[in-house]
């Protein structure tokens, strides 16, 4: 099982042994991925499922939200009626509570394992500005390189801000531009100058280098960590 459905708790048969099978099959895939030091997409998925179950435990009325919504209006009304009956059914609710009681510590252990790997990878990465950083740094370029360091991948980035129910969140949109080689005549500063000439809409861009001291799976680990590093750096108060 490569992915765990968002509504896996209430999808299909509501049975503890069946849900154990579903969850453990998924977590086995996660463990294999972490064993290869591949963090994504599993780490973000784990965090989502773990937080979702904690919220459901705290407010069981939210369980209704996890049921499939591909329904007609009449069917949805019927589902609401059936849900009201279901929450009055002690046997079903006890089964759901048993599933959540089993799943929460399992997911927590996997989240902690993935977080430890993330922290290790982050500790091996250095972020530094390339040249002078302008006052407006929410758009610019990001260079990512790792041993043996000759090849540098160049991205254009833009910070995005979106509002969740409780707080403002920052994300990073990136566009891959090219791969170039670092050498004495093509330094990171020279790469930045080349980009300035090539993209006139950013005449005074910010540019940052993320240099990894170790080689990691690139798309599954290093790129997501590099993006998070840059967001954290740009989110620091002046």
pLDDT tens-digit map of 101-120: 999 999 999 999 999 999 99
Average pLDDT along the chain = 86
* Spans of all domains in the chain: 16-122, 125-235
Chain-centre distance for alpha carbon 238: 26
Q: Which pLDDT value is given to residue 12?
A: 82
Q: What does each C-alpha distance from 82 to 30, 75, 78, 113, 175 come to in angstroms?
A: 35, 10, 6, 39, 47
What band does 74 get if pLDDT is binned at 50, 70 and 90? low
Better-scored residue on pLDDT, 149 or 29? 29
User: What's the confidence (pLDDT) of residue 71?
Assistant: 43
Q: What is the pLDDT of residues 41-66, one digit of tens each?
A: 999 999 999 998 988 887 765 665 55
Neighbours of 201 (CB within 10 A): 6
Please give the average per-residue pLDDT across 67-71, as a whole number.
Answer: 47
Q: Output the pLDDT for position 63.
A: 61
Is cis: bond before 59, omega within 30 of 0?
A: no
Give the integer Cα–Cα distance in Å for 21 and 103. Answer: 11
What per-residue confidence (pLDDT) applies to 65? 56
Contact 128, 189 (CB under 8 A): no
Is the pTM higher than 0.75?
yes
């Amino acid at each position: 099982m490569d992915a765990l459905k968002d509504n896996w708790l209430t999808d299909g048969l509501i049975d503890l042994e069946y849900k154990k099978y579903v969850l453990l099959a998924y977590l086995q895939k996660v463990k294999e991925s972490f064993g290869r030091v591949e963090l994504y997409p599993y780490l973000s998925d784990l965090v989502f499922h773990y937080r979702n179950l904690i919220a459901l435990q705290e407010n069981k009325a939210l369980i209704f939200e996890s049921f499939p919504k591909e329904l007609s209006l009449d069917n949805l009304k019927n589902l609401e009626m059936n849900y009201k009956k279901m929450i009055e059914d002690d046997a079903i609710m006890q089964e759901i509570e048993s599933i959540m009681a089993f799943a929460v510590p399992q997911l927590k252990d996997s989240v902690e394992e993935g977080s430890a790997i993330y922290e290790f990878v982050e500790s091996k990465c250095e972020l530094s500005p390339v040249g002078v950083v302008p006052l407006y740094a929410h758009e610019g370029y990001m260079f990512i390189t790792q041993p043996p360091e000759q090849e540098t991948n160049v991205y254009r980035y833009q910070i995005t801000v979106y509002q969740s129910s409780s707080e403002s969140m920052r994300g990073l949109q990136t566009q891959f531009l090219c791969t170039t080689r670092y050498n004495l005549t093509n330094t990171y500063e020279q790469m930045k100058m080349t980009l300035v000439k090539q993209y006139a809409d950013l005449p005074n861009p910010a540019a940052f280098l993320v240099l990894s001291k170790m080689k990691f799976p690139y798309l599954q680990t290093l790129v997501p960590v590099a993006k998070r590093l840059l967001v954290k750096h740009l989110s620091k108060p002046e």
